[in-house]
């Protein structure tokens, strides 16, 4: 679709006594980075930015050629202005396909085609290729968030688009979408929480079962290994609610699950695999290059080209390094696999400036809700039994425990994650379809699908990996900023 010049794309919207202007911009680069990040910070009570909604991340998707009209993602960033103040914004893309979204609507597109109707282009408010819950409608308050989503629907109607989809939204986004009449859809992800169920006080004295697990050493730091006194001193105090160490976490699990994890870790250790991790600017260019080799190979092995280019990760290393944690698995001195994790961080803050020295968010309280790690990408050049579990779950979970992170989000799908203590959470997306008959049909479908999701969650809850005498309460949803 042709994007009109900016001066022709202003639409005045009245909301009681306030005058607002909606501007549709054809690039994230047309939005001031400081203003965007300040609005994003306002969505979180602790001011920690969701890394995937940072201006730097969205800009890199475009400048690297990863999310562009050529790849089927045409940016139309919607901004809400009150005078000269940015009051609201969202990352909207016109889509020519449904790849890279992780909320699947291929059946809807097929139904349109069977009836001689065009489903594409459609409008998607989402972070390309990133199934991570977070704020999608950035606004100063609930009223302006609702105004923003109503403006989205009105704009989609004027552009004669088939539909609008807001993916992996927060509770606040969902409330605005419901008020605007959008339909809700739920999916299931698996997340880990760094909190121990109630266990006997003697749990810490129980002997370990089997051989020691691989422990990652920190790269390019002169401090002691994280097995040493410095790491122990940094652990949350006993009774603070978080796990004291990885064994403390294991002792909260059922014997069957605990034994299985120790067996899997032992296989990796006995294969001669060791791990090291690097954070932020300490990730070397050589490690980024090796990571991309592994990442690219994972996609190529499945017959697909990777969504993200090498230049995208160059941008990440340059503009927001504090948000990246890299684990490298080595056999002797040879790297064989990597796992890339995104982490919460406080850039200097919401101004477009970066302070790489102390940007990693440090918990001021053991239950700081803002500290989250996100499992993103992995790849291997050698096949080692259970290496995937070690690189993608056990090493990151151990790191989260040692650094006081409250949550690890394991990404879309994967019931196998439950055996590693990642529990099911419900995520929510919102949808609007222009065609009344199709909207009615989809609404009936979503009612049936929603009932099935509820039954699925109930079934998963009965299969909790935690000790039966100390049940871990399953969170209802993951729609937090």
Q: Which pair of structure tokens corresponds to residue 413?
A: 């799908």
Q: Which helix (H) or strand (E) holds 112?
A: helix 106-114
pLDDT attached to residue 214 = 60
Q: Which CATH number fits domain 195-405: 3.40.630.30, 3.20.20.60, 1.25.10.10, 1.20.1440.230?
A: 3.40.630.30
Q: Does 185 score more than 60 pLDDT?
A: yes
pLDDT attached to residue 126 = 98
Q: Which pair of structure tokens corresponds to residue 468?
A: 């039966």
Torsion of CA 235, 241, 245, 248, to 10 degrees: 150
Q: Give every CB contact of residue 385 below 8 A, 6+ residues apart in sequence.
A: 267, 268, 271
Q: Does 363 score more than 70 pLDDT?
A: no
For the segment 112-128, what is each residue's pLDDT rounded down to a tens digit?
999 999 999 999 999 99
Q: Is 6-189+425-461's fold the same as 195-405's? A: yes
The model's confidence at residue 19, banded by pLDDT at 50, 70 and 90, is confident
pLDDT attached to residue 115 = 95
What DSSP assignment string belongs to 407-474? EEEEEE--GGGGGGTPEEEEEEEEEEESSHHHHHHHHHHHHHHHHHHHHHHHHHHTT-SB-TTSPPPP
The model's confidence at residue 218, banded by pLDDT at 50, 70 and 90, is low
Average pLDDT, the chain: 84
What DSSP assignment string belongs to 172-188? HHHHHHHHTT-EEEEEE
d(CA 244, CA 230): 14
Please, which residues bridge with residue 430 across strands? 166, 184
Closest CA to 177 of 131, 125, 102: 125
d(CA 407, CA 194): 6
Helix (H, G, I), strand (E, B) or coil at 371: coil
Using a 10 angstrom Cβ sphere, with 0-12 exposed, 13-18 middle and 19 or more buried, the burial of residue 201 is: exposed
The model's confidence at residue 215, banded by pLDDT at 50, 70 and 90, is low
Determine the average pLDDT of the residues in 72-100: 96
Sheet harboring 423-433: ordered strands across?
Answer: 73-75, 92-95, 122-125, 163-166, 423-433, 183-193, 407-412, 372-380, 334-343, 324-331, 273-279, 217-218
For the segment 327-359, what is each residue's pLDDT rounded down to a tens digit?
999 999 999 999 999 999 754 433 332 333 333
Q: Are 190 and 410 in contact (CB under 8 A)?
A: yes
Q: Which pair of structure tokens corresponds to residue 138?
A: 């950035």
Q: Does 230 score more than 50 pLDDT?
A: no
Backbone φ, ψ for residue 190 (5° rounding): -130, 120
pLDDT attached to residue 195 = 85
Q: Side-chain half-sphere of 178: how many Cα atoms within 13 Å?
A: 11
Q: Are 448 and 412 in contact (CB under 8 A)?
A: no
Q: Does 139 score more than 50 pLDDT?
A: yes
pLDDT attached to residue 135 = 97
Q: Side-chain half-sphere of 444: how many Cα atoms within 13 Å?
A: 5
Backbone φ, ψ for residue 342 (5° rounding): -90, 145
Model pTM greater than 0.75? Answer: yes
Q: Does 237 score more than 90 pLDDT?
A: no
Determine the average pLDDT of the residues in 368-396: 91
Q: Are 31 and 76 in contact (CB under 8 A)?
A: no
Determine the average pLDDT of the residues in 161-179: 97
Q: How far is CA 3 from CA 23, 55, 58, 371, in A?
A: 12, 21, 19, 39
For the segment 281-306, what is each residue's pLDDT rounded down to a tens digit?
999 999 999 999 999 999 999 889 99
d(CA 32, CA 77): 12
d(CA 164, CA 121): 10
Q: Does 2 score more than 90 pLDDT?
A: no
For the segment 400-422, what is each residue's pLDDT rounded down to a tens digit?
999 999 999 987 778 889 989 99
Q: How far is CA 135 from CA 61, 246, 480, in A?
A: 18, 31, 8
Domain ranges of the chain: 6-189+425-461, 195-405
pLDDT attached to residue 16 = 44
Q: Are 191 and 460 in contact (CB under 8 A)?
A: no
The CATH architecture of the domain made up of 6-189+425-461 is: 3-Layer(aba) Sandwich (3.40)
Determine the average pLDDT of the residues in 81-86: 95
Backbone φ, ψ for residue 462 (5° rounding): -70, -10
pLDDT attached to residue 405 = 94
Q: Does 227 score more than 90 pLDDT?
A: no
Determine the average pLDDT of the residues in 456-463: 91
For the segment 391-404, what is each residue's pLDDT rounded down to a tens digit?
999 999 999 999 99
pLDDT attached to residue 401 = 95
pLDDT attached to residue 281 = 95
Q: How many residues does the chain have?
A: 481
pLDDT attached to residue 352 = 31
């Amino acid at each position: 679709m042709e994007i009109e010049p900016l001066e022709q794309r202003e639409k005045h919207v009245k909301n009681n006594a306030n005058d607002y202007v909606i501007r549709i911009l054809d690039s994230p680069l047309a939005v001031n980075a400081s203003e965007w990040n300040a609005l994003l910070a306002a969505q979180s009570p602790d001011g920690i930015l969701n890394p995937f909604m940072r201006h730097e991340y969205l800009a890199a998707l475009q400048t690297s050629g990863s999310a562009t009209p050529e790849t089927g993602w045409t940016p139309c960033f919607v901004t809400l202005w009150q005078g000269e103040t940015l009051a609201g914004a969202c990352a909207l893309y016109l889509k020519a396909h449904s790849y890279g979204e992780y909320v699947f609507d291929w059946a809807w597109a097929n139904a349109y085609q069977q009836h001689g109707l065009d489903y594409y282009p459609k409008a998607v408010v989402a972070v390309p290729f990133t199934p991570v819950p977070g704020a999608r409608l950035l606004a100063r308050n609930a009223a302006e968030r609702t105004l923003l989503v109503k403006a989205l629907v009105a704009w989609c109607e004027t552009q004669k688009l088939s539909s609008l989809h807001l993916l992996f939204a927060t509770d606040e986004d969902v409330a605005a979408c419901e008020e605007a009449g959008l339909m809700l859809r739920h999916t299931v992800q698996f997340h880990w929480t760094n909190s121990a169920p109630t266990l006997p006080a003697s749990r810490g004295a129980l002997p370990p079962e089997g051989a020691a697990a691989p422990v990652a050493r920190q790269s390019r730091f002169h401090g002691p290994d994280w097995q040493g006194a410095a790491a122990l001193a940094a652990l949350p105090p006993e009774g603070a609610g978080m796990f004291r160490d990885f064994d403390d976490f294991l002792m909260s699990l059922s014997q069957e699950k605990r034994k299985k994890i120790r067996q899997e870790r032992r296989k990796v250790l006995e294969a001669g695999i060791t791990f090291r991790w690097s954070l932020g600017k300490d990730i070397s260019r050589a490690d980024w290059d090796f990571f991309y080799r592994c990442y690219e190979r994972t996609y190529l092995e499945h017959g697909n080209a990777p969504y993200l280019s090498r230049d995208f990760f160059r941008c990440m290393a340059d503009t927001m390094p504090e948000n990246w944690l890299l684990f490298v698995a080595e056999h002797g001195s040879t790297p064989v696999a990597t796992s890339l994790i995104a982490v919460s961080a406080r850039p200097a803050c919401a101004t477009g400036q970066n302070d790489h020295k102390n940007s990693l968010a440090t918990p001021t309280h053991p239950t700081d809700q803002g500290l989250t790690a996100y499992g993103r990408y992995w790849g291997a050049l050698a096949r080692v039994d259970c290496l995937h579990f070690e690189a993608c779950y056990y090493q990151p979970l151990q790191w989260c425990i040692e650094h006081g992170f409250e949550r690890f989000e394991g990404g879309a799908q994967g019931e196998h994650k439950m055996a590693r203590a990642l529990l099911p959470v419900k995520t929510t997306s919102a949808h609007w379809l222009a065609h009344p008959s199709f909207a009615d049909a989809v609404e009936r479908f979503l009612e049936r699908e929603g009932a099935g999701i509820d039954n699925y969650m109930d079934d998963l809850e009965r299969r909790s990996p935690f000790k039966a005498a100390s049940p871990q309460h399953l969170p209802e949803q993951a729609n937090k900023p």
